[in-house]
A and B are shown apart, each in its own frame.
Chain A
């Protein structure tokens, strides 16, 4: 089913994640003898179109960061593939680090851990350019200054160390570093959740602005649905290593089908409601796993992350809206 995409670059999506699985071996038992596999990602399929912001939402441990790391090459998938502009970037044909650096970059969550404390802004932004073979000092510096201006930093701070900046400024440096090689895909791993509430909006607006100006495509990992609602074109909901619902943002938010999605959306605080009725949660909690869905609310214990999830498939339930169902016969 993927043949058509790999053949024709222009028709395919910018990024295509196909059947991606990541399993981590863990040693258990007294002597670490028995090895088990944690199934962090199970057959994830996703596509990212050019100019789009796809948000991946879900609770901690659902595999969304593993997905992000796989896309930027920090995690080798166990099986499955990722295609960038029709070209496989996983497995045997995977590009070199230098080459891959121009395809996808990542903005990390914690702006305090994501910058080398011993490198000035100039050094950390210039080094990637030099690795790409740009050796002319004037050109390198020019591009660094331009990028700093673009993310709203004063270029005369180029020789400052990270600890001289505030959290919001550091995140701007992180964004500048991700964009310095002009990648087409930028993975945003919880880009604002570590920031002060007062500067979140600034960073979100900066990201939206840069997306327009530089024609970027975003994959945003988040658990903050209000940010997701504001930024994304499409949303994928992940639950225990699987995409359980996926589609255009207004379909997901307006008409959530999967009980897990409903529960996530019900958990968004509503500033206009004096009292919220947690009806969706009660409904799921009282009756056990809903029929047709592989969903186990906390009240019934957690998923077994060591075994394969039950057979299920994403079923289209409308225009650009898919939900994962367990076949009744199985």
Chain B
């Protein structure tokens, strides 16, 4: 079935990245930072160096494995922050309406009208480079779509009879939002979150590429691309493999998000798991 294929293919790609990140020290004997060897610089892929070596003679494969840790941390961490902010603001705005809705709407539009990468750049400039500032910068700048989806879904759900019934049965507003509305908007929000994870990984790469993210010599897929800039003609593998890693991860996340949405749809299942 098609929907299972998405889930399996996306899940496999994501799993590869997770395994790479978690098991990095066991998958490669080399260190991503220390094992520089100028004698072995810019070697093409071979049996010893699967993905070749970079300008300092470090194994690209090793650096990609360790880079996956950064990408995953940034992807998951920033999306946790984004989704939480988006859900809280979106559901409450849609549910309560009034001045709060106007305020949240204004804020969302403000966020949407500023390019999020530029906004993240500004935050990074204030906080300085590093993993935690990356998380904060990307976690605070990409919640507007989640918020919009959550708000519009809440608006349409709150007039549904089952939400009204919950009110007459004595549910508090908080409980209604938590038990009646939230579970019914998980699908679209999850898709946005997975897509956003891909965006965050791309944004991390971009920020690191610009020198604001993960600082060398610590590897991240973004700063590996920075290093590869001058070598692209003579040692293309130094650019191709980090690029491929980003591409596969983002693709995997998108497929997985789609598959997950279909799988979570209660009409596709008959029994609770």
Report which A residues bind B (CB closer than 8 A). 69, 72-74, 96-101, 104-106, 108-110, 113-120, 124, 127-128, 131-132, 159, 161, 163-164, 174, 177-178, 181
Contacts and interface: CB of A to CB of B under 8 A. Distances in A.
Given A161-B272, A163-B266, A108 B169 contact: no
B150 to A, nearest CB: 16
A273 B172 CA distance: 53
B270 A164 contact: yes
Interface string B152-176: 0000000011101111111110010
Interface in B230-273: 266-267, 270, 272
Given A116-B184, A127-B179, A74 B168 contact: yes
Given A118-B184, A161-B266, A100 B170 contact: yes
B226 interface: no
Contacts of B160: 113-114
Contact of A118 (B161, B165, B183): B183
B208 interface: no
Contacts of B165: 106, 108, 114, 174, 177-178
Given A159-B272, A161-B272, A114 B162 contact: yes
Given A108-B161, A113-B162, A115-B162, A97 B266 contact: no
B188 to A, nearest CB: 14
Contact of B168 (A73, A115, A118): A73
B180 interface: yes
Interface of B: 160-162, 164-172, 175, 179-180, 183-184, 266-267, 270, 272
20 contacts: A73-B167, A96-B170, A97-B172, A98-B170, A105-B168, A106-B168, A108-B164, A108-B165, A110-B161, A113-B162, A116-B162, A118-B183, A118-B266, A127-B169, A131-B169, A132-B170, A159-B272, A161-B272, A177-B169, A178-B165
B170 A101 contact: yes
Nearest to A72: B168
Given A109-B161, A110-B161, A178-B165, 13 more contacts: A97-B170, A101-B169, A113-B160, A114-B160, A114-B161, A116-B166, A116-B179, A117-B266, A118-B183, A118-B184, A119-B183, A128-B170, A161-B270
When A and B form their complex, which 5 residue pairs have the shortest distance between CB atoms, in order from nearest? Answer: A101-B170, A114-B161, A108-B161, A128-B169, A98-B170
A127 B162 contact: no
Contacts of B172: 97
Contacts of B161: 108-110, 113-114
Contacts of B266: 117-118, 161, 163
Contacts of B167: 73-74, 97
